[in-house]
C-alpha cells in the first residue's frame, strides 16, 4: 500500500510540474509573439 501511494504522489507531482512548465513555455516561449491580448485590441 505504501508503494502505490508513493508512486501516485510522484506521478501527480510530475504531471503538475510538466503542465506548469508547458504553460510557461507557451506563455513566454517563441510562440508567444503570436498571442494577442484581447484587452489591448478593444481599448477606448
Give 1-44 pLDDT, tens digit per residue.
Answer: 688 899 999 999 999 999 999 999 988 888 778 877 777 777 66
pLDDT at 40: 74
Report whether 26 contacts 32 (CB < 8 A).
yes
The pTM (predicted TM-score) of the whole model is 0.65
- Cβ within 8 Å of residue 20, ≥6 positions away: none
E strands, 1-44, are none
User: Hey, where are the domains in the chain?
Assistant: 1-34
What's the pLDDT score for residue 8?
96
pLDDT at position 1, please? 63
Distance CA 24, CA 6 (A): 27
pLDDT for res 43 = 66
Q: Judge contact between 20 and 12, C-beta under 8 A.
A: no
Rounded to whole angstroms, the Cα distance separating 26 from 18 reads 12
Q: What is the DSSP letter of 42?
A: T
Amino acid at each position: 500500500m505504501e508503494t502505490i501511494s508513493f508512486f501516485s504522489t510522484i506521478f501527480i507531482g510530475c504531471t503538475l510540474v510538466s503542465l506548469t512548465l508547458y504553460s510557461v513555455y507557451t506563455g513566454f516561449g517563441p510562440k508567444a509573439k503570436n498571442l494577442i491580448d484581447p484587452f489591448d485590441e478593444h481599448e477606448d
